[in-house]
Every structure is written in C-alpha cells, then in structure tokens.
Amino acid sequence: MKKVIIATALLSVSLFGAQATQFSMSKADRAMYQEMLENNPADIFVEEGGEFFDELIGEKDFAAFLGVSEKDLPKYIAGFPRYVKKIDMVAGLDQVMQAILAQKNEKPIKLKSKKMFSMLAYVKSLANEEKINLDVNADEHIKAAYALGKKVYETPRGGRGLACLSCHSQATVGLALRTQILPNLGAVNAGGTWPAYRMTKSSLRTLQRRFQGCMKNALLAVIPIGSPEMVALEVYVTNMAKGKEIAIPGLKR
C-alpha cells in the first residue's frame, strides 16, 4: 500500500487507487445515505428555520435591507458571502440576519446556535436551483476577502503545519484519509450544498461549522464563526463552485 506524506510528515494519507471509494462508506452507511437522499432529515430543520425567519424577519424586510426586490432575492442570495453596504463588511447571510434583528431591537441569535443554523439553511434554500454567482471582483471589499480566504486556505498552521490545501490540493484529491475520500471542494459543490445534514453528527451543520471541525481534527486553532477570516474562507471555497446550482439542505457523511 503506497502512502503519501503531507506537510510535516505527521499526516499520512493512504492511496487506494481506483478502489478508494469503497473505503469511504460502509455498505450499511451507503444504504442509509441513499435513503436519506429521498428523505433528508435536515428538511425539518429548514422548515423550522423558515418559521423562525418569517416570525422574526420575513422576506420583504430581508430584501429591503439588502436593497433588492423580493423577486430578485433568490439570485442575490446565490452571490453570498458578499459586501453589504448597510453593515460595511463582507458578510454571510447569517450576519445579515443578525444585523436586521439588531435594527428591529430583537434579541440577538448567536451565529453558532442551532436556531441560526436552521434559519441560515432556510434563507439559503430560497436560492435553490440558482447558480452560485459570487463575484470576487465586484468591489475592493470582496477582493480583499477573497485574498484573505486564499491565504487562510493555503497557509500552514499549528504544530503539524497543516492548511486546508494539505488535504484539498490537486495532489491529494482522491486519496483516502481515515477511510474518507479527500474531495475537490469545488467539484463537490461545497459552497452550494451547505448547510447540510451530517450523518456522522446527526445534525444540521453549516459550511463554517464544517471548517471548524476540520481545524479541530487537524489540531489547529479554531477560527470563530463569523470572523473576517472565516467569512473570507467561505468566500474562497464558495467561489470554487461558481456556476454550480445551490441545493439546500445538503447531505454529508
């Protein structure tokens, strides 16, 4: 069995060649996955998020805050994260909701809360079947965020000297790590399929929460959700899937 050493030789990835996919999921898990494709457990969280959203914000106020019509809202959502003038920052949809709630003097909802995860999933699902249209050259703010995201993605950190690129480069994609196949994040449409239901966690997770899980597993300092670095990382990864359709909620192992 051939092995490839990444970064500081503390992370080994086993290469299984053409048969690698058989190690990514057991037969039982694969059968469960196929069933969940038809009945995604996250659908109930999206529905719940929609109820919260309609009660606290609503599409009309959400669109008005962003300065777009309700008709154009789905396409506009497909361009997030993006620079939002009213809060003068490159933000995710969840941060926009926080800002609207603050404007309404409503009780804040934490970005890492299950309630916000559900609301985020619902709002992003409004853009289902729209193609990701993130424009990383739209303004100086998003350009800077993209550059920062690229830096976070590629810069080795921690005692192992690992980066996102360590597991998701052209050289490593298709190899197996802990029985999971390392994907090209653009090819698997990471930007358009999170929030998603994670089978191994039995819960709804967002893309930034997934980033945190990777960081924790790699023994890296975990970057906070909603921080400039984390939003920038989402910008960078989402742009990899530009042109692919949004399909929320996703379903992940």
pLDDT score recorded for residue 180: 74
Comparing 4-8, 160-164, 169-173, 249-253, the range with the smallest average pLDDT is 4-8
Domains, the chain, ranges and CATH? 3-38+137-247 (1.10.760.10), 43-125 (1.10.760)
pTM to 2 decimal places = 0.85
Instruction: Tell me the residue type at 143.
Output: K
pLDDT score recorded for residue 31: 63
pLDDT score recorded for residue 169: 82
User: Cα 168 to the chain's mean position, in Å?
Assistant: 15
In angstroms, rounded to a whole number, what is the distance separating the alpha carbons of residues 134 and 139?
12
Section 94-119 average pLDDT:
97
> Given a cut of 80, is residue 17 above it in pLDDT?
no
Q: CB burial class (10 A; 0-12, 13-18, 19+) of residue 101?
A: middle
Residue 12 bridge partners (DSSP): 5
Helices (H), the chain: 27-38, 43-56, 59-66, 73-77, 93-103, 114-125, 140-154, 164-167, 190-193, 207-217, 228-240
Closest Cα to residue 62, out of 76, 48, 46, 49? 76
Determine how β-strand 196-198 pairs with β-strand 250-252. Answer: parallel
